[in-house]
Amino acid sequence: DVVLTQTPPTLSATIGQSVSISCRSSQSLLDSDGDTYLNWLLQRPGQSPQLLIYSVSNLESGVPNRFSGSGSETDFTLKISGVEAEDLGVYYCMQATHAPYTFGAGTKLELK
């Protein structure tokens, strides 16, 4: 199975600060169709996960553009340009290139 390693496990930020989360894959997530199925989700406390970014860098409808994704093959990054209070929660990367689909262990974003 593909292992996704997220760092850091915990992130403390002030409102307005820009932060980045890394997701490294144990194998390339480039699919034979040319797309890379690496997604980012946010799980706020007590809620179900919600999609933020799909296929590395595509912003899901309704998601603020302070969120951005980048990367390729095995190294991916989620950036939040100016943290807001509503951004607190656990961020997960997820790959859907290889079955079984797998998730990173999560990065908890807290207020400093």
Partner 1 sequence: QVQLKETGPDLVQLTQTLSITCTVSGFSLTTYNMHWVRQPPGKGLEWMGAMWNGGGTDYNSAFKSRLSISRDTSKSQVFLKMSSLQTDDTAKYFCARQLGYYWYFDFWGPGTMVTVSS
Q: Which stretch binds partner 1 (CB under 8 A): 15-23, 51-59, 66-74, 75-83?
A: 51-59
Residues 25-44 binding partner 1 (CB under 8 A) are: 33, 35, 37, 39, 41
**10 binding partner 1? (CB under 8 A):** no
Name the DSSP class of 97: S
Contact with partner 1 (CB under 8 A) among 22, 55, 68, 77: 55
Shortest separation between residue 25's beta carbon and partner 1, angstroms: 15
Q: Which stretch binds partner 1 (CB under 8 A): 18-26, 70-78, 81-89, 95-103?
A: 95-103
Count of CB atoms situated within 10 Å of the CB of 10: 11
Segment 78-82 long-range contacts (CB within 8 Å, at least 24 positions apart) = 78/20, 78/21, 78/23, 78/40, 78/52, 78/53, 79/18, 79/19, 79/20, 79/21, 80/18, 80/19, 80/20, 80/109, 81/18, 82/16, 82/17, 82/18
**48 binding partner 1? (CB under 8 A):** yes
Footprint of partner 1 (CB under 8 A): 33, 35, 37, 39, 41, 47-51, 54-55, 60, 92, 94, 96-97, 99-106
